[in-house]
């Protein structure tokens, strides 16, 4: 088992959130200690860091560690759904209902490990 904790920007300017990636037997679990994340609900910290979004880093010097965790993600089953979600976010006319549904699915996969 291997584990990396990355600090995610807190949009309120408060203390950053801890996003932890746990890699075990080819599966990845992702947790975040923000209010939504603590309930294993969808949060942008998990989704954006798992997608290697460097703008979400509180501390840019962690980008090497983040890339390591991102490689675990892209080798895992959650990768396809996460990529689909990122594509939906940037669509010209986003289907909010479909986005919420997929966010729920990805959050569940990150909670259980996939």
Applying CB under 5 A, which part among 33-41, 67-75, 90-98, 100-108 lies near Zn ion?
Answer: 33-41
Q: Kindly tell me which residue out of 6, 43, 78, 109 binds Zn ion, with binding defined by CB under 5 A.
A: 43
CA angle 2, 19, 51 (to 5 degrees): 90
* Those residues with Cβ within 8 angstroms of residue 27's Cβ, 6 or more apart along the chain or in another chain: 76, 77, 113, 114
- The CB-of-92 to Zn ion minimum distance in angstroms stands at 27
Alpha helices, H only, 1-114: 44-50, 63-74, 78-89, 96-112
- DSSP character for 39? G
Binding-site size for Zn ion (CB under 5 A) equals 5
Q: Kindly tell me which residue out of 23, 45, 48, 70 binds Zn ion, with binding defined by CB under 5 A.
A: 45
Please list every residue from 51 through 80 that binds Zn ion, using CB under 5 A: none
**Quick check: 37 binds Zn ion (CB under 5 A)?**
yes
Chain positions contacting Zn ion, by CB under 5 A: 32, 34, 37, 43, 45
């Amino acid at each position: 088992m291997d584990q990396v904790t990355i600090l995610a920007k807190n949009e309120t300017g408060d203390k950053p959130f801890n996003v932890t990636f746990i890699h075990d037997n080819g599966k990845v679990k992702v947790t975040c200690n923000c209010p939504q994340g603590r309930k294993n609900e969808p949060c942008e910290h998990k989704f954006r860091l798992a997608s290697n979004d460097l703008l979400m880093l509180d501390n840019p010097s962690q980008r090497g560690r983040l890339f390591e965790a991102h490689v675990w993600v892209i080798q895992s089953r959650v990768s396809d759904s996460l990529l689909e979600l990122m594509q939906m976010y940037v669509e010209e006319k986003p289907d909010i209902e479909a986005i919420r549904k997929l966010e729920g699915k990805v959050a569940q996969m990150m909670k259980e490990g996939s």
